[in-house]
Amino acid sequence: MGISRVVGALPFLLLFAWSWREMNLDQIISTARPSAESGFIEWGNDNKFAILDDFHGVDFLTGSGAAAPPPSPIAAWQTFHFLIDLGPLYAIWILESHRAANAWSPAYIPTVFAFVSQLTGAAITMPVFYFLCIVFSPSASELARSRPPRRSAWARGNILLIPLVLVLHTAEVFAMFLAPSYESRHYWTWAWQSTPLLIGIGNVLAGLALRLFPGRRIRSPSPSSIQKAMLAVLVLISTAVWVYTITFSPHPLATLFTPGPEPQDGLVLRSRKAFQADEIGLFSSSFLWLVYSYFDLYLAGLLSLKGLLYNVASFPIGTLVLGPGSTFAVSWYARELLLGSA
């Protein structure tokens, strides 16, 4: 751990502080308390549904309106796209944990951070995760000097990871927003709360199961054709939802994705602002981590200065065209190709 990397990673903590202030979880909890006590969430004129209490049977997962589908049309458009875009991030965080060089570093336990983010907000938890990865995990320069098996994120044991993400995350998010009744959506929202934990556990169990079958447990500097296809499916789904959102949403993009500076009254408006800040904080920290990664590749001699500037400049352009989740996944994959060429 070098002091220069600690100082250089301080912007992640600034993003954490901004997200904490903008999301204002204390206000959301206090605003949600009347709904929790009444057992119903109400909005608009005579619209309400009963809260599904004690879904998991675990005290710290038992809550209130936090696990409710967003009744506001604006919040629904933004949140649907945002949650779908978490799929590529879940997959990449866990793929990073499969990199042998990341063993026993913070990057080795993304499931812990992702699960905590379900309780606090990803924009609060994940900047801290990225900060710790920058400080304690190997840099791209160190990975480039490692043997190919140590620097690779691709292995036979994680070939079922993306199907797990599609089943346990993506399918549940579609059910959260497309189920015919709010009661059904409420059920799937509760079910989704434990998704990061289930994906992490399922990935470990799938890896153990694959070891029972004959075959060499090798790591490759590049994904297999099956892994490429499955990652492409995640990217295509995120892109399709993004294009649908910006094409058919009746609300301006600024209204959908920008948290207003003025105070928000009521659970619906405060929750909407929190989700907007959650998306901005999470993807800002995610793309900042990629900037650091590409800069490390430049220092390692695997990327020219022109290539560094080109890749970083592609982030906002790709976000507008493909959406943030797909752009992050494609940019991470391009980084893996550069690492594999070392």
What ranges do the domains of the chain cover?
3-340
Most confident of 245-254, 272-281, 325-334: 325-334
Q: Which tens digit of pLDDT belongs to each residue from 288-324? A: 999 999 999 998 888 899 999 999 999 999 999 999 9
Residue 81's pLDDT band (boundaries 50, 70, 90)?
A: very high
Residue 180's pLDDT band (boundaries 50, 70, 90)?
A: confident
- Helix and strand numbers, DSSP H then E, in the chain: 17, 4
Q: Which tens digit of pLDDT belongs to each residue from 48-65? A: 666 656 555 555 454 444
Q: Which residue has the higher pLDDT, 41 or 299?
A: 299
The model carries a pTM of: 0.88
Nearest-angstrom CA–CA distance, 80 and 96: 26
Torsion of CA 82, 248, 171, 255, to 10 degrees: 20
CA angle 61–64–69, rounded 5-degree value = 100
Helix (H, G, I), strand (E, B) or coil at 50: strand
Answer whether 239's CB lies under 8 Å from 323's CB: yes
For residue 36, what pLDDT is reported?
59
Q: Which residue has the higher pLDDT, 41 or 9?
A: 9
Q: Which tens digit of pLDDT belongs to each residue from 99-140? A: 888 888 999 999 999 999 988 889 999 999 999 999 998 887
